[in-house]
Amino acid sequence: MAILTVSNLGKSYGAVDIFDGLSFNIPHQARIGLVGPNGVGKTTLMRVLVGEEKPSEGLLQVTKGLRIGYLPQNARLESQHTLWDECLTVFSDLIERQQALRTMETEMGQSQETDLIQTYGRLQDEFERLGGYLYETKIRQTLAGLSFKTEDLNRPLQQLSGGQRTRALLARLLLEAPDLLLLDEPTNHLDIAAVEWLESYLKDWTGAVLIVSHDRYFLDQVTDRIWEMTPQLETYRGNYSAYLQQREERYARRLAEYESQQEFIQKEEEYIRRNIAGQNTRQAQGRRRRLERMVNEAKITPPPTLRRQMRLQLEPVGRSGNLVLKTSDLEIGYADEGQPLFRAPDLLLERKECAAIIGPNGAGKTTFLKTILAQIPPFSGQVELGASLEIGYFAQAHEDLDPEKTLMAEIEAAAPGKRMGEIRDYLAKFLFSGEDVFKTVNLLSGGERGRLALAILGLRGANLLLLDEPTNHLDLPSQEVLQAMLADFNGTILLVSHDRFLIDALATQIWNVNAGEKKLEVYQGSYSEYKLYQQTQTEQQETLKQPAKTQTDTAKNTTSNQGLSKNERQRLEMKMKELETKIIQLEEDLKNLALKLQNPPGDGKLVQQLGLDYQQTQDQLGEIMEQWEELAVKLEG
């Protein structure tokens, strides 16, 4: 059943049409990814659907009572509340019910009225059914999933960064659980762990979701249909990978149909031209009428070619040696900081391999690249580069670009022999045309800077590429072009990226910076294989965890690299076991108290005491859970 239906929807600003003639519906529990080049109107369409802008034409219908939640691309939650109090506003109705129950408990302690007791039982059962005893747990789980720390909960929202306030708005939207969720670039301010949590959350989402995103892996994991805005709307079944395949097949089929009809038209026109004045005049005239009718009524238009795309080729100037990179006893960091960011095992990278470096922001991935480039010395250990290497470096912040230079001047500096016409032609391959080529770098957007940096990289003739977040700010078509180019690159790649789709397509090794343990973990294989390996390891650890709780010598079977002595570990583990026993008992007590409150006794004072016991038990359980979590953090370092 459709919860939102659109017919012939159009939006224009003055004489400029953003889109027109859009017709579609969003079914209940739909998982839709909305893709298309930057500037095609995706965000405008979202704003029209949510009612922030009015359509210029067409009809938009929603089911009665439909609740829509919207996360704008650059949203920041503005509020005077703390993060925790802002999330509590979502459950104001439950909090009022909870306060009403407390009031009734007090009244029942002073009265024995049967009606009051029965009313309390009914309201308490309804409160529990609505999740009244779970909403605080749900808030904690959601905020933790979106990478908020415990110390963030009581901070005023105004003290949080812009990215944190965007995440706070997303958290509130998820807690509100609207019927339709519109998300415009929801992964922009999330690390990989938070993105993976959101993927899992949305898979179990009971409502419908419409997502605009440049994160192709995220779309692969979450969506079951793709809408491509061209600015018309092309619909595809399946996730992003299925869309790519269907798009190519659809284009090839339409091109074949168009070319077949064009061939037929040419043959008919040739026949008419040869016979219109000869013996077969009548047949030629009949064919001409049929041809004119077909052209007017059934002529196939050529399929829209893929929009003007960035064109990039990377040709190494020469072949490097088989050994490209080798390290020994390497530690990454700055000497004046006193300790390394992380240590690496002895690494080996060979020609035509691609190693993807992943890990949280601030873990030292960019520092690692700069160490390999010899821009900063190793904290300790050695880096050895192979023979015949020509290195090309793509910096995440594009700091190698001169903000005062024009695009023409930047290309001329990278390729001194090129003439002005050749430079303009070359920049056109990267979607810079007309007067754009005379812009200075400081006037460029993030995506434009990225394209210019790639243009310069293409002139280097490198056979070893060090790429730091190369897909940042690129739209999906440009990401696809870059990925295809890198897949065909006849050299070696060292890639720092959060783009899991790109990593999965290219990487032969995964180098994960484990920030908690300050070490680099190496996995030989693709990203999908690495994630499967991680899942298997987690399942094995969970399997071993239960019997480990009954052993008294757990510390003997655990590698101790956390700085705790054997006696300290044993003491903490014994304390955790005691807390786990209390948690099990308190959970059982809560369950029994809830059953009694659902069928309250006739004595009002006894009902009041049951309510107080329930609240005290719940508070005690929360305190012990926090103690258990603190001990677990200490044991894990």
Q: Which CATH number is 475's domain given?
A: 3.40.50.300
Q: CB of 46 within 8 A of CB of 18?
A: no
Please choose, from the candidates 367, 321, 384, 382, the residue with its C-alpha nearest in 3D space to the C-alpha of residue 466: 367
- Residues 4 and 56 placed together within one structural domain of the fold: yes
Backbone φ, ψ for residue 32 (5° rounding): -115, 130
Eight-state DSSP code of residue 290 = H
- Looking at residue 559, its pLDDT comes to 42
- Residues 505 and 362 placed together within one structural domain of the fold: yes
- Residues 393 and 452 placed together within one structural domain of the fold: yes
Residue 545 inside a domain? The answer is no
- 175, 194, 218 - which closes a domain: 175
Residue 222 inside a domain? The answer is yes
Residue 220 inside a domain? The answer is yes
- Residues 475 and 334 placed together within one structural domain of the fold: yes
Q: CB of 9 within 8 A of CB of 39?
A: no
Residue 7 inside a domain? The answer is yes
- Looking at residue 598, its pLDDT comes to 62
SS (H, E, C) 86-130: HHHHHHHHHHHHHHHHHHHHHHHHHCCCHHHHHHHHHHHHHHHHC
- Residues 528 and 437 placed together within one structural domain of the fold: yes
Query: What is d(CA 69, CA 61) in angstroms, rounded to the nearest whole number?
Result: 16
In the block, tokens 């779309």 appear at 219
- Looking at residue 599, its pLDDT comes to 66
Residue 598 inside a domain? The answer is yes
Residue 360 inside a domain? The answer is yes
Return the half-sphere exposure (C-beta side, CA atoms, 13 A cut-off) of residue 125. Answer: 11
461 alpha-carbon distance from chain centroid: 33
- Residues 529 and 396 placed together within one structural domain of the fold: yes
Judged by phi (left if over 0) then psi (alpha if -120 to 50, else beta), residue 329 lies in left
Averaged pLDDT of the chain: 86
- Looking at residue 600, its pLDDT comes to 66
Return the half-sphere exposure (C-beta side, CA atoms, 13 A cut-off) of residue 91. Answer: 22
For residue 168, the surrounding DSSP H or E stretch is helix 162-176
- Residues 152 and 214 placed together within one structural domain of the fold: no
- Residues 148 and 191 placed together within one structural domain of the fold: no
Query: What is d(CA 609, CA 467) in angstroms, rounded to the nearest whole number?
Result: 65
Query: What is d(CA 451, CA 447) in angstroms, rounded to the nearest whole number?
Result: 6
Q: Which two tokens stand for residue 438?
A: 């005379």
- Residues 52 and 122 placed together within one structural domain of the fold: no
Q: Which two tokens stand for residue 126?
A: 């309804």
Q: Who's near 597: CB < 8 A, 6+ residues apart?
A: 121, 124, 607, 610, 611, 614
Q: What's the domain range around 466?
A: 323-533
- Residues 166 and 219 placed together within one structural domain of the fold: no
**How many distinct structural domains can be found in the chain?**
4
Neighbours of 107 (CB within 10 A): 15
Judged by phi (left if over 0) then psi (alpha if -120 to 50, else beta), residue 463 lies in alpha
- Looking at residue 636, its pLDDT comes to 64
Query: What is d(CA 470, CA 499) in angstroms, rounded to the nearest whole number?
Result: 9
Residue 397 inside a domain? The answer is yes
Q: Which two tokens stand for residue 485?
A: 């180019």
- Residues 498 and 606 placed together within one structural domain of the fold: no
242 alpha-carbon distance from chain centroid: 18
Return the half-sphere exposure (C-beta side, CA atoms, 13 A cut-off) of residue 538. Answer: 6
User: Rounded to two decimals, what is the model's pTM?
Assistant: 0.74
Query: What is d(CA 524, CA 489) in angstroms, rounded to the nearest whole number?
Result: 20
Q: ∠ CA 550-556-557 to the nearest 5 degrees? A: 70
- 154, 175, 196 - which closes a domain: 175
- Looking at residue 356, its pLDDT comes to 96
Please choose, from the candidates 231, 236, 266, the residue with its C-alpha nearest in 3D space to the C-alpha of residue 251: 236
Please choose, from the candidates 225, 172, 174, the residue with its C-alpha nearest in 3D space to the C-alpha of residue 197: 174
Q: Is cis: bond before 303, omega within 30 of 0?
A: no
- 481, 503, 533 - which closes a domain: 533
Pick out the chain residues at pLDDT < 50: 306, 548-562
Neighbours of 382 (CB within 10 A): 11
Q: Which two tokens stand for residue 230?
A: 């061209």
| Long-range Cβ pairs for the range 44-48 (8 Å, 24+) | 44/11, 44/18, 44/19, 45/9, 45/11, 45/19, 45/229, 46/70, 46/72, 46/182, 46/184, 46/210, 46/212, 48/9, 48/11
- Looking at residue 555, its pLDDT comes to 41
Please choose, from the candidates 475, 311, 315, 452, the residue with its C-alpha nearest in 3D space to the C-alpha of residue 394: 452
- Residues 36 and 108 placed together within one structural domain of the fold: no
Burial of 261 (0-12, 13-18, 19+ CB in 10 A): middle
Q: CB of 58 within 8 A of CB of 10?
A: yes
Residue 296 inside a domain? The answer is no
Query: What is d(CA 618, CA 391) in angstroms, rounded to the nearest whole number?
Result: 61
